[in-house]
């Protein structure tokens, strides 16, 4: 469930934070390689590809993503702003089913065994309801 952020968003966020740390690091060689990868490597560079993918996914300019204004907390905010309400509701539903399954929450007069709850979780996660 990853704190209600989609796994893809978590990967994007962590990748961007890593790239920004490399750009602001102490070693000149690391800064040069990462800067060149972002600015000149483009899609041929894995670093450039990551930044441009993030740029396309969140529709933000690369210059903003690489600026000091785009902090880790701002990146988290950007990721969460693209989270659809439907996804958040699914996460809460799965969490509820897991709490029932592990007997953290007791629901009287509910006769579901572990397999029934697994089916419910599968249906919620796949969006087939």
Helix spans in the chain (H)? 7-23, 28-36, 46-58, 62-65, 72-81, 85-101, 114-126
- Tens digit of each residue's pLDDT (9 = 90 or more) over 12-61: 778 888 888 888 888 889 888 888 887 777 667 788 888 888 888 778 88
pLDDT exceeds 50 at position 63: yes
Structural element, H or E, at residue 83: none
């Amino acid at each position: 469930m990853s704190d209600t952020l989609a796994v893809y968003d978590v990967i994007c966020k962590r990748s961007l934070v890593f790239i920004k740390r490399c750009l602001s690091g102490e070693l000149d060689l690391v800064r040069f390689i990462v800067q060149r990868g972002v600015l000149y490597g483009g899609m041929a560079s894995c670093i450039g590809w990551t930044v441009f993918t993030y740029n396309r996914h969140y529709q933000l300019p690369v210059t903003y993503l690489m600026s000091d204004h785009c902090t880790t907390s701002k990146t988290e905010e950007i990721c969460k702003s693209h989270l659809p309400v439907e996804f958040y509701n699914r996460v809460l539903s799965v969490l509820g089913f897991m709490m029932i399954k592990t007997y953290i929450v007791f629901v009287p007069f509910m006769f579901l065994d572990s397999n029934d709850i697994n089916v419910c979780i599968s249906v919620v996660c796949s969006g087939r309801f």
